[in-house]
Structure 1
């Protein structure tokens, strides 16, 4: 798929986590296409749910009491999108893009322990949170079509992108963890597997701006095992994200946990 960003002058985009990394790269590219990236009360044309936390070594909680990764990566974006839904519906053809991860290829999701109270494994919990983001994106698109909300929802992942997500700052550590230092070492040892930010944003940018993008679709890098470059392609969708019953169960749970309900 060819990435061609049209002139987006006059449109409004909201990008979460835009202070650095992929979010900063996305905001810069959108601004370069003429988008306004901040405003209040205007219809929202593009919402990119990008902010994230990755693998804090010890279990932490949000101020609301949710496991930090599930609360930040999924529940926070579920609630934000719900609150912004009236502004999204006010736009002529709004798009919502949720940034997932290749770590979303998880085989199971324990709906009774999404907060990892029975055992915390950093990478497993990160994968579950990113799977939830993907399931939300697909279900949001289905509900939009069924209810006539007039928005298109899709998901994308950046492959293996060189960002500061593992730096520790996102979960309160002053220094990078051992995992972060080892990851940064592979940037030098295995450079062919890693993408710069400008390459990593392409799947998300395609979903957000390309005239050819479709709703309910998962985009990723077209290269080696969806980790490297080569343009934008369709990413592998895990079975849980293809299951109507599982997506709807997650939706009901998310409404219950956040207290944010979407209209029928």
Structure 2
């Protein structure tokens, strides 16, 4: 006599335009007032979650929250002042959130400089490395008690496709000996991605309920991004000029999709793949809906990640490794 296996409900395919509800959760998006961070915030707001935009500019944060409320009626969105270039200010951010738990933080904010001269933060760190990597390293440390208070929180680190061709110089992390802006930017984002990978290792070793997920947005251009006045306005000329690029690249609204999936999709937490995977656009890692992909070979190097971690701890004076379970 044959037996019938129990009926199971497979997870539905991920749909970037039909997100699951998250009405009881709280998310923080660094740099949520502009670019990809704005669209991450807008899309997460549509789930019913409370979304907090971390921004160093109150006026721009206010404009972004109003733009989101226009697009998402009833959105529970607000802002908190966040300056990643000022390490001494970051301890206060957790208290300023005014919550007893945090379900996810999207480490998205970043500085990209195109031309010399080399610039530094007030703490004396090269501006892009200090903001994009060290600021997020320190912020995560201060947020860890709130993240650990949630049932299954996520730290989502938004890297960059520009990091794929870069390698860290562990003896010149601050680009003092050889400063080239585009390379320094790529390396700062690579450092941020190494942080996300190493954080995941340490959280798993500690038995923490917090997960670390690494994503990148692919090729996301302003000229392919839909208007969200006053945050972003795309003119007709920009639309026409960007038409050829649309064959291989995308707008920042689509660039937000990997981070949004990393925040919301239960499949992201699958322990069988989490250690060796990241999330990226489907088509050559440059455009399309988000998919799980193997870590880049150099990003999976545990020796480099561990050395960067120790250097970051020394430079910031905080230790994200002291994670509660």
**Normalising to structure 1: TM-score of the pair?**
0.86
Q: How does 1:82-231 map to 2 (within 5 A)?
A: 82-163=141-222, 187-214=242-269, 215-216=274-275, 217-223=277-283, 225-229=284-288, 231=289
The CA deviation at 1:110 is 1.3
RMSD: 2.0
CA deviations over 1:78-125 (Å, ceiling 9, x no partner): 100011111111111000100001111145311121110001111111
Divergent runs of 4+, >4 A: 183-186
Which of 8, 18, 30 aligns to 2:44? It is 30
CA deviations over 1:51-75 (Å, ceiling 9, x no partner): 0111331111111111111111111
Structure 2: tracts of 5 or more residues without a match: 1-12, 53-96, 224-237
For 1:14, the equivalent position in structure 2 comes to 28
Between Structure 1 and Structure 2, how many residues are aligned? 244
**Normalising to structure 2: TM-score of the pair?**
0.71
CA deviations over 1:243-262 (Å, ceiling 9, x no partner): 11111111111100010113
Please give the alpha-carbon distance, in whole angstroms, between the structure 1 residues aligned to 2:222 and 2:100. 31
CA deviations over 1:24-68 (Å, ceiling 9, x no partner): 111111111011113414200010000011133111111111111
Q: Is the aligned partner of 1:260 residue 2:323?
A: no
The CA deviation at 1:134 is 1.0
Larger RCO, structures 1/2 (Cα 8 Å, 6+ apart): 1
**Maintained 8 Å contact 2:166/2:186:** no
Structure 1: tracts of 5 or more residues without a match: 165-182
Bigger-Rg structure (1/2): 2
Which of 224, 227, 234 aligns to 2:292? It is 234
Higher strand share: 2
For 1:2, the equivalent position in structure 2 comes to 14
SS across alignment from 1:123: helix
The CA deviation at 1:135 is 0.8
